[in-house]
């Protein structure tokens, strides 16, 4: 079963395997990063009355620019995923109260249809670290000449001081 959309009304009432696969053209990571191959969701689905349970693993290889030196960095993500979907139109005030009381982690779905590409995209963006580094000791770009300090020794730093700090230097 290869699924791009889940229709909550017709989701299986017995646990079934579910797989969804998206190419790099279908998952837009908003310029922060790009997929280097298909992103795959692999898991299981079942519906109990109005609740649809989806659980599994999202696997994706992502390429982004190193935060310091801007060279491309690849990272493979394996993201465990678990959610409960409820059709928003079936949600009554009373049920909303029940959910608040039981503190269930449920997602309301507008239109009764879950877009798996959106689920996968969101999870990858959430999994992305704030900084993607080519290596922990990446030396970054020289702020003066723009050279990649992992590749060249430009020697700018030793004799030039950012003019905004020059005044402080004179205090010493
Ligand atoms: Zn780097
Ligand atoms: Zn330099």
Q: How far is CA 171 from CA 31, 162, 167, in A?
A: 43, 15, 7
Query: Ligand 2 mean position to 162 CA, how many Å?
Result: 12
Q: Kindly state the tokens that stand for 140.
A: 């970054």
Return the number of other C-beta atoms located less than 10 Å from residue 106's C-beta: 17
| Each residue's pLDDT expressed in tens, for the chain with a length of 172 residues | 467 899 999 999 999 999 999 999 899 997 779 999 999 999 999 999 999 999 999 999 999 999 999 999 999 999 999 999 999 888 766 555 555 555 567 898 989 999 999 999 999 999 999 899 999 999 999 999 999 999 999 988 665 566 666 666 665 5
d(CA 146, CA 143): 6
Say how many Å lie between the CA of residue 133 and the centre of ligand 1.
5
User: Which ligand lies nearest the alpha carbon of 144?
Assistant: 2
What confidence score (pLDDT) does residue 88 get? 87
pLDDT at residue 65 in the model? 94
pLDDT at 133: 95
Q: What spacing in Å lies between the alpha carbon of 168 and ligand 1's midpoint?
A: 29
**In angstroms, what is the span from residue 147 Cα to ligand 1's centroid?**
12
DSSP secondary structure string for all residues of the chain? -B-SEEEGGG--SS-EEEEEEE-TTT---TTSEEESS-EEEEEEEEEETTEEEEEEEEEEEEEEE-TTT--EEEEEEEEEEEEEEEEGGG--HHHHHHHHHHT--EEEEGGGEEEHHHHHHHHHHHHS-S---SSTT---B-TTT--BTTT----HHHH---HHHHHHHHH-
Distance CA 49, CA 43 (A): 20
Span from the CA of 114 to the centroid of ligand 2 (angstroms):
50
Contact 44, 38 (CB under 8 A): no
Distance of CA 33 from the midpoint of ligand 1 (Å)? 15
* Ligand 2 center–CA 132 separation, angstroms: 22
Ligand 1 centroid vs 141 CA: distance in angstroms? Answer: 8
Nearest to 79, CA basis, from 33, 116, 41: 41
What ligand has the least distance to the C-alpha of 155?
2
CA of 67 to the centre of ligand 2 (A): 18
Distance 73 CA to ligand 1 centre (A): 8
Q: In the prediction, which pLDDT does 90 show?
A: 80
């Amino acid at each position: 079963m290869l699924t791009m959309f889940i229709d909550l009304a017709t989701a299986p009432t017995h646990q079934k395997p579910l797989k969804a696969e998206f190419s790099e053209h279908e998952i837009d990571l908003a310029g922060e990063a790009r997929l280097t191959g298909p992103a795959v969701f692999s898991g299981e689905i079942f519906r109990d009355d109005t609740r649809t349970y989806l659980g599994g693993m999202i696997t994706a290889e992502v390429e982004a620019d190193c935060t310091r030196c801007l060279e491309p960095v690849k990272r493979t993500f394996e993201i465990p995923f678990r959610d409960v979907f409820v059709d928003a139109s079936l949600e009554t005030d009373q049920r909303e109260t029940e959910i608040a009381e039981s503190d269930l982690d449920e997602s309301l779905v507008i239109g009764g249809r879950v877009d798996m590409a959106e689920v996968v995209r969101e999870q990858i963006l959430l999994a992305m670290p704030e900084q993607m580094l080519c290596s922990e000791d990446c030396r970054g770009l020289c702020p003066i000449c723009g050279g990649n300090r992992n590749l060249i020794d430009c020697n700018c730093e030793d004799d030039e001081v950012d003019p905004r700090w020059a005044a402080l230097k004179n205090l010493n």
